[in-house]
Structure 1
Amino acid sequence: MVDPLAGQKDEEDCPKNWQLAGASVKNVEYHRELVSFADTVFGFLEDIETSSSENSSSSSNDYQDDFGEDENRNFQDNKVFWEQQDQLLKETLFRTTSIETKIRHATNEALKELNLSGKQCICQRPVAGNVDNGCRDCLQREICNQLLNLGYNCAICKSKWKTSKNIPSGEHTYLEVMDTTSSKKGEIRIVIEFNFRAEFEMARANEEYNQLISRLPEVFVGKAERMKNLIKILCSAAKKCMKEKKMHLGPWRKQKYMQAKWLGTCERSTPASLPGRYTDRQLRPRTSMLTFDLLENLSGLHRTVVEVA
């Protein structure tokens, strides 16, 4: 028979060092379990930190790459835009018709004759551009007379427009030739502007815009449709230029304002009602108190009469 106290007896009869050895084994196994659990936890945390660090680094690199790509894309887009505008401008300027060529040649010859004649405008107000003998009004009258003498239906046009939502009011004068020699094309309107390039110049423009402006003629002679296309190209370029420089585009630079100058309604007049004011006499320069030299005239009692301008 089995002794019910056998197990107890065995435990009592076992030496103490065996009991201690068993306890030590249990403690070792317990510590091993703790170490294994700690390694698992800390390993998991390290994996999370590594993954998070890698994701953060990857995200930062992706952001920098995206930013660089966007910047490069914008640069390429801008380059393409200015190349397209330059090509469109050259095509619009170089494409011409026979009637435009004839009137352009006649206008240039009239300007040369006026420059060589030595005639002076009695207004003595300078005109912008390469034409240096007269104010704008007198110059337009003189050239208009020259074209009329050559048989062209030329007139001085004065355009006026009121203030609207996007542009302020203003007025502008230019020459216009109406050609009716072609029965198929009907009436052709030719615009003559003596100060064309300066109308689109901007003080703080970028290099690309200035390059476009340098291609423009100082004196424009062309059909109204050509003028319309040029205005569209140049105003689009002006808008892009100001956007790149983060500046506001003035309302007088906008397309509608420019179109109102040459393509809106106007009043036609001839030099017969507006006679020219050129003379062959040598005009004396006006003297003002700002240019009058007092030191040279203080030696005597008599004083030269000074005209105050």
Structure 2
Amino acid sequence: MAGVRSVRRRYGDILELHGGGPSTLNGLVFGFLEEDHGEESPESRFGSGAGEDYDYGEEEEEESCDVEESKAFWEEQIKLLQGTICRTNSVESKIRQATKEALKETVMMISQCACLRSTVGGVCRNCLRREVCNRLINIGYDCAICKSKWRSSSSIPSGEHTYLEVVDRSSSKRREMRVVIELNFRAEFEMARASEDYNRLISRLPEVFVGKAERLGALIKILCSAAKKCMKEKNMHLGPWRKHKYMQAKWLGTCERSTPAPLTVGYSGRPAKPKASMLTFDLLEAMSMPGLRPTAVEVV
């Protein structure tokens, strides 16, 4: 039979974004591409004698080169990622330690969210962000909740994101240093259908990121390049919310700073401990022991 049937090719891209954040985009994105070449002879498509002198060794050599190239790429990305994360200055280290202590204290003390939402672990992300911000403010840091918003363009959709920021003005260079605090950093780069190489790279990210904006920008560049490579190797389309420009808009674009209001009394979910003084100590102690009479205290 002369000629061959036209081949219809369909490419389906299934992308899923990690849920929970302010900028969550859920759903499936499908792409279809149809081609119709009509009937044509093998000679017109492949030339005369097609397949007779085909060199299969050349194809195997190309596949081997692709594997080596991919391996070298991922090894390089891991080195770049580790080098960027390890580099830090004294200001970043101090804020990182303060944030770590604030998170630890918050998790230990809070048993019920201020917004009364039912959450795993007793506190939602918004209340956790507010509590950490307040604790950093109380120990002297210029910390604020930042909310970034950006409009849609030809390459990325619109969105918004919330994170913490500390502005340090103690530098001798008389230049403000922006230190970004992202409490859910690793999850921002996780992908549902990522390759093993990409997941191995992401696993090296800290769960909580604390670092200056310039360091964050370098990490975004590395991770977005890795995401693009991952999708290319899996023959999948890279979602617009995974692109470099979109990720930059989250933390490095224009934002509104705000200071959270103090949390309501009883936020910890435990009864408030009465304050003792020189005049009330004996009375409070006696009241806590049934059957004992209060001891008189002379006021001088």
For 2:196 and 2:215, how far apart are their aligned partners in 1?
A: 25
Tell whether 2:263 aligns with 1:276.
yes
Tell whether 2:66 aligns with 1:78.
no
Alignment of 1:195-214 (within 5 A): 195-214=184-203
Task: Encode CA deviations 1:30-59: one digit per residue, 9 max, x unaligned.
Answer: xxxxxxxxxxxxxxxxxxxxxxx9xx97x4
Which residue of structure 1 aligns with residue 58 of structure 2?
66
Q: Cα–Cα, structure 1 residues 229 and 159, in superposed 2: closer, same or farther, change >3 Å?
A: same
Q: Aligned to 2:103, which of 99, 111, 114?
A: 111
Which residue of structure 1 aligns with residue 9 of structure 2?
none
Alignment of 1:179-198 (within 5 A): 179-184=168-173, 186-198=175-187
1:271 Cα shift? 1.3
Q: Cα–Cα, structure 1 residues 126 and 147, in superposed 2: closer, same or farther, change >3 Å?
A: farther
1:281 Cα shift? 2.8
1:126 Cα shift? 6.6
Aligned partner letter, 1:144: C
Contact 2:169–2:176 under 8 Å retained in 1: yes
RMSD: 2.0
Task: Encode CA deviations 1:173-225: one digit per residue, 9 max, x unaligned.
Answer: 00000001012161100000000000000111011000011001111000101
Unaligned runs of 5+ in 1: 1-52, 284-309
Q: Cα–Cα, structure 1 residues 227 and 125, in superposed 2: closer, same or farther, change >3 Å?
A: farther
Aligned partner letter, 1:78: S
Aligned partner letter, 1:143: V
1:248 Cα shift? 1.0
For 1:196 and 1:95, how far apart are their aligned partners in 2?
A: 17
Q: Cα–Cα, structure 1 residues 69 and 124, in superposed 2: closer, same or farther, change >3 Å?
A: farther
Kindly report structure 1 stretches of 4+ aligned residues shifted beyond 2 Å.
122-128, 275-278, 280-283
Alignment of 1:25-64 (within 5 A): 59-60=53-54, 63-64=55-56
For 2:133 and 2:253, how far apart are their aligned partners in 1?
A: 20
Which residue of structure 2 aligns with residue 229 of structure 1?
218
Which residue of structure 1 aligns with residue 285 of structure 2?
none
Tell whether 2:249 aligns with 1:260.
yes
**Percent of residue pairs identical:** 63
Contact 1:180–1:188 under 8 Å retained in 2: yes
For 2:99 and 2:232, how far apart are their aligned partners in 1?
A: 37
Which residue of structure 2 aligns with residue 148 of structure 1?
137
Q: Cα–Cα, structure 1 residues 107 and 192, in superposed 2: closer, same or farther, change >3 Å?
A: same
Q: Cα–Cα, structure 1 residues 185 and 84, in superposed 2: closer, same or farther, change >3 Å?
A: farther
Which residue of structure 2 aligns with residue 43 of structure 1?
none
Contact 2:148–2:254 under 8 Å retained in 1: yes
Which residue of structure 2 aligns with residue 89 of structure 1?
81
Contact 2:110–2:269 under 8 Å retained in 1: no
Q: Aligned to 1:171, which of 146, 154, 160?
A: 160
Structure label with greater radius of gyration:
1
For 2:250 and 2:242, how far apart are their aligned partners in 1?
A: 11
Q: Cα–Cα, structure 1 residues 233 and 152, in superposed 2: closer, same or farther, change >3 Å?
A: same
Q: Cα–Cα, structure 1 residues 197 and 99, in superposed 2: closer, same or farther, change >3 Å?
A: same
Task: Encode CA deviations 1:214-239: one digit per residue, 9 max, x unaligned.
Answer: 00111100010111011111111011
Contact 2:92–2:179 under 8 Å retained in 1: yes
- What TM-score results when the alignment is normalised by the length of structure 1? 0.68
For 1:127 and 1:230, how far apart are their aligned partners in 2?
A: 30
Contact 1:206–1:241 under 8 Å retained in 2: yes
Q: Cα–Cα, structure 1 residues 164 and 127, in superposed 2: closer, same or farther, change >3 Å?
A: farther
Which residue of structure 1 aligns with residue 296 of structure 2?
none
Which residue of structure 2 aligns with residue 21 of structure 1?
none
1:280 Cα shift? 2.8
Q: How many residues are aligned here?
A: 221
Q: Secondary structure at the match of 1:279?
A: coil
